[in-house]
Amino acid sequence: LIYHTTPWRGLVHLLKVFKNLNLKNQVLIQSQSKNVLTSGVLFTRTPDLGSPYYVLNYQEGNRTDAITKGEIGNTIKIFRGINHRRVPRKWRKLMESIQEIEKTVHSNFLDIEFAITKYKIIIFQVRPLTTGKHLDTYNLDLKIEKIIGENKAKIKKEYKKSNETITIFSDMADWNPAEIIGNTPNNLDYSLYDFVIMNNSWSKSRHVLGYQKKSGSLMKRFGNKPYVNVNASFNSLIPKKFSKKISKELLDYFLIKLKNNPELHDKVEFDILFTCYDLTLKNRLLELEKAGFSKKDIKNILNVLNEFTNKLINKFPSISMQSNNSIEKMNNNRDKLLIQLHKSKNTYAEYFETARKLLVDCRDLGAIPFSSMARLAFISSILMRGLKDDSNLTSDSINDFLTSIQTVLSEFKQDVINLSRNRLTTKVFLKKYGHLRPGTYDITIPRYENNQTIFHKINFQHETKKKKFEFDESKIKRVLKQHKLKFEKINFIEFVQQTLIQREKLKFEFTKNLSQAIELIAMGSKKLDFSREEISNLSLSDIFKFNKYPKKKFRKYLQKKIFFNYKIKKLSSYLSLPSIIFSEDDFEIIQYYTTAPNYITKNVITEDVIFINSYRDIPNIDNKIVVIENADPGFDWIFTKNPKGLITKYGGIASHMAIRCGEIDMPAVVGCGEILFEKLKIAKRISIDCKNEKINVIEYSKKDDYLEEKKLLKALGYIK
């Protein structure tokens, strides 16, 4: 035990309480540390896996009790093999001290509490880490160093290809791969997402709407982690009507702003980009003046975005009709393909070929229309939210209106209620929703029709609030007219409703093809004696080589690929990577940025927490706050079990779960970020105050090895 300036009388009292006056007992007395600049705890390897990184959880300022109270707000990881000169100056002396301790105790599995003053490093205590001792750390460290070197070479290559002075990669900008396929996706998940969305669909849909034409994949993998090429993303969201000069200046401005505010990388459309006209745009554009844009250029940007938005509004009816026709064609094609397959010999090659055709339709007839509609839905939402500044509408009334719109999500909720009350048969329910799975692109997770235990013991108590909205449409029209927004072919309220309804419908429909293709890949793989877990290590390009080899040779080829890719994935799990990459240094010095979570509803709750990381054994989540990494439409089963609230690590204000929670008036914190998420994972009970945007941990579930000692010291008045 370590005490700060504890009186001798108190120590005697303490010994009496322990009823042990053995003179061999030792009490360490440490003087109080003053003028502390930084304090915290450092792990000499990651405490979960033993990966070769120094993990620093720290607090700025003269408090040294933040670790004990669980209030640490900053985290940084530093690769153990980093060149000493590349270590940030702030941490160099601490690193020297830690390495000296490692040599002294002959161990690099340590948990160290420290403080930094202006002149010295203070070590409060050193404890052994119990994880990772079985590891061959020498070889592991060399392998991780090699992967880091490969990632550095890869990023240098990207910098050379780019024409920009700044090149950025983010796991949550734009199409949010961390939210959709996760931080460490299977090879098949990654290649499916790339094929359907990230290779070309994302850019084709934007070009059709009038944005700049870009080609190539939006997604890049470093280690096993997917990232969005931010430069390509930002470029693709600048209308082509702008001159080359303005486009270049805007792109530079966007990139610099993100570099200076990295915590905004999951909110770029709201806080960084100007992708369309909205009712707050004139005020938002004032920041361009500070960045050196002329008043003439700013006025031009305002006018171009206004004209561009008007064109999209008036093109919506035709885009909507084309989208519906496209989905109808996709569904008809799917039915024909499955009938043909049913009549065939059902060989692995036939399964794979049908899956390939389904995925091509999924991309061309499903994902591209969905992507266009998602962009229009964003425009309608941002216009609606802007009304609060120019009309008598409040934020609450606007949110209530947006979440009252009856989408496919609303239908799901009602169908679940009907299923639970025997008004709908399981067969009919699964025919409609059986294609969904928790993890839309993950072949290893069974879809609803193959995991019906998900809908056992349905307890759906959240009801959508039914309200009558009586907007003063004449006033809204006046406001829109003042902003030169022309709703000629469709009125404003209908535009908002229809874009949001269509977005959810198109998403729901195109995933039918995707889900069926994944099942056919699993069936074909079974013919080759591969399990879902094994086939998940392959890419689509591996699987679609089925026509190049005879069966025996093809199976051998896949077997080698599975073994090789599995080894790479397992090794990559020891690699730590940042959420946003600005330079090659970010592979060795990993900074975690404090994210501003998205709070849904204005409700306040205090409940027990349950962390979900498996979808095969469904835990009891009744009346609990569910904590989950990421979620897509396949996670709607959660709402059938009567949770009280939801927290996700990844996600934005317009993500699926944000919309879903708003619709049923469930308090949620969407996209809380890495630091807060790790804290909430080990919480037992928490309070969510959405109105004031606060989360408080009431009680932790993690066992405290020194709990009894702390209780005793507290009773004696030595600690608070």
pLDDT greater than 70 at residue 617: no
The CA distance from 279 to 479, in Å, is 9
Which of 241-250, 267-276, 447-456 is least confident?
447-456
- Three-class secondary structure of residue 610 per DSSP: strand
Token pair in block for residue 663: 């619709």
Confidence of residue 247 (pLDDT cuts 50, 70, 90): very high
Burial of 683 (0-12, 13-18, 19+ CB in 10 A): buried
Return the ∠ at Cα 179 (arms to 276 and 521), rounded to 5°: 115
Q: Retrieve residue 411's tokens.
A: 């239908």
72 has a pLDDT exceeding 50: no
Distance from C-alpha of 69 to C-alpha of 59, rounded to nearest angstrom: 12
- 628-654: average pLDDT: 85
Q: How many helices (H) and strands (E) does the chain have?
A: 26, 19
Q: Tell the residue number behind the tokens 């069926």, with chain if given.
A: 516
Q: How far apart are CA 438 and CA 660, in angstroms?
A: 15
Reported as type and span, the H/E element at residue 595 is: none
Does residue 464 carry a pLDDT above 90? no
Q: Is 460:642 a contact under the CB 8 Å cutoff?
A: yes
- Paired tokens of 199: 């290779």
Do the Cβ atoms of 16 and 38 come closer than 8 Å? no
How many whole angstroms separate alpha carbon 541 and alpha carbon 359? 13
- Collapsing DSSP to helix, strand or coil, 302 comes out as helix
Q: In the structure encoding, which two tokens stand for residue 25, read together?
A: 């007992």
Query: 649 vs 266, 313, 345, 679, CA distance in Å?
Result: 11, 34, 45, 11
pLDDT at 190 over 80: yes
* CA neighbor of 560 nearest in space, from 577, 538, 591: 538
Contacts of 102-106 with C-beta under 8 Å, sequence gap 24+, read 102/44
Measured CA to CA, the distance from residue 600 to residue 682 in angstroms comes to 22
Tokens linked to 677: 């998420």
- Work out the pLDDT band at 309, boundaries 50, 70, 90: very high
Q: What are the tens digits of pLDDT across the range 493-512?
A: 999 999 999 999 999 999 99
In the prediction, which pLDDT does 122 show? 92
Higher pLDDT, 1 or 440: 440
Q: How far apart are CA 662 and CA 440, in angstroms?
A: 22
Confidence of residue 706 (pLDDT cuts 50, 70, 90): very low
| Model pLDDT for residues 229-239, shown as the tens digit of each residue | 999 999 999 99
Question: How many Å separate Cα 292 from the centre of its chain?
Answer: 34
Res. 9: pLDDT tops 60: no
Share of residues in the chain with pLDDT > 70 (%):
88
Query: What tens digit of pLDDT does each residue of 76-111 get?
Result: 999 999 999 999 999 999 999 999 999 999 999 999
Residue 398 confidence class, pLDDT cut points 50, 70, 90: confident
Burial of 3 (0-12, 13-18, 19+ CB in 10 A): middle
Q: In this model, does residue 462 exceed pLDDT 60?
A: no
Alpha helices (runs of H) in 36-82, residue ranges in sequence order: 66-69
Q: Mean of the pLDDT values across residues 184-194? A: 96
Are the CB atoms for 650 and 635 separated by under 8 Å? Answer: no
Confidence of residue 615 (pLDDT cuts 50, 70, 90): low
DSSP conformation class of 25: -
- Distance between CA atoms of residues 478 and 234, nearest Å: 33
Looking at residue 68, what is its pLDDT? 43
Which of the pair, 405 or 340, is modelled with greater confidence? 340
Separation between Cα atoms, residue 114 and residue 58, nearest integer Å: 9
Distance between CA atoms of 424 and 25, rounded to whole angstroms?
A: 71
pLDDT of residue 216: 85
* Cβ(710)–Cβ(719) below 8 Å: yes
Question: Is the pLDDT score of 3 beyond 50?
Answer: no
Residue 710 pLDDT more than 70?
Answer: no
Other C-beta atoms closer than 10 Å to the C-beta of 413 total 20
Measured CA angle at 181 (ends 586, 360), to 5 deg: 120
The closest alpha carbon to 212, from 198, 185, 233, 196, belongs to 233
What is the share, in percent, of the chain residues with pLDDT greater than 90?
61
Instruction: Name the DSSP letter for residue 454.
Output: G
The pairing of strands 219-222 and 225-229 is: antiparallel
Judge whether 508 and 633 are in contact, CB under 8 Å: yes
Which tokens belong to 347? 């060989």
What is the per-residue pLDDT across 410-421, written as a single tens digit (0 to 9) for each? 788 888 888 888
Confidence of residue 346 (pLDDT cuts 50, 70, 90): very high
Phi, psi angles (nearest 5°) of residue 368: -65, -50
Task: Output DSSP code: residue 594.
Answer: P
Average pLDDT over residues 616-629: 85
Mean of pLDDT over the chain? 87
- Of 19-28, 662-671, 702-711, which one has max mean pLDDT? 662-671
Copy the structure tokens of residue 342. 């049913």
The tens digit of pLDDT for each residue in 39-55 reads 999 999 998 899 999 99
The mean-pLDDT minimum among 31-35, 638-642, 689-693 falls in 31-35
pLDDT of 427 over the 70 cut: yes
Per-residue CA distances from 599 to 269, 411, 480, 640, 680 (Å)? 17, 24, 28, 21, 15
Asked if residues 79 and 577 have their Cβ atoms less than 8 Å apart, the reply is no
Q: According to the model, what pLDDT value does residue 21 have?
A: 62
Query: What's the Cα-to-Cα distance from 472 to each of 391, 469, 476, 484, 617, rounded to whole Å?
Result: 9, 9, 6, 19, 50
Instruction: Enumerate residues 6+ apart whose C-beta is below 8 A from 293.
Output: 249, 253, 301
Residue type, 359: L
* pLDDT for residue 506: 95
d(CA 405, CA 544): 41
What pLDDT is stored for residue 716 in this prediction? 42
**Read out DSSP for 241-266?**
TS-HHHHHHHHHHHHHHHHH-GGGTT
User: What pLDDT sits at residue 266?
Assistant: 86
Residue 634 CA to residue 657 CA, distance in Å, equals 10
Least confident of 60-69, 341-350, 543-552, 681-690: 60-69
**Mean pLDDT confidence for 480-485:** 93
Confidence of residue 400 (pLDDT cuts 50, 70, 90): confident
- Report whether pLDDT(599) > 80: yes
Q: Are 558 and 35 in contact (CB under 8 A)?
A: no
Encoding tokens for residue 134? Answer: 């079985």
Cβ neighbour number for residue 706 with a 10 Å cutoff: 10
Quickly list H helices, 434-573: 473-482, 492-527, 532-535, 540-543, 551-572
pLDDT at 692: 87
pLDDT over 90 at 306, yes or no: yes
Residue pLDDT, tens place only, 647-659: 998 887 777 788 8
56 SS3 class: strand
For 527-551, the pLDDT digits (tens) are 999 999 999 999 999 999 999 999 9
Length of the chain as a residue count = 720
Check if the beta carbon of residue 601 is closer than 8 Å to that of residue 665.
yes
Encode 582-619: b = buried (16+ Cβ within 10 Å), e = exposed: bebbbbbbbbbbebebbbbbebebebbbbbbeebeebe
Residue type, 541: S
- DSSP assignment string, 324-341: HHHHHHHHHHHHHHHHHH
Q: Is the pLDDT of residue 277 over 70?
A: yes
Q: Of 12, 10, 36, which is closest to residue 23 (Cα–Cα)?
A: 12
Give pLDDT, residue 228.
96
Residues 123-181 have pLDDT tens digits of 999 999 887 778 889 999 999 999 999 999 999 999 888 878 899 999 988 898 988 99
210-242 burial, b for 16+ CB within 10 Å, e for fewer?
A: ebbebeebbbbbbbbbbbbbbbbbbbbbbbebb
pLDDT digit string, tens, across residues 558-591: 999 999 999 999 999 999 999 999 999 999 999 9
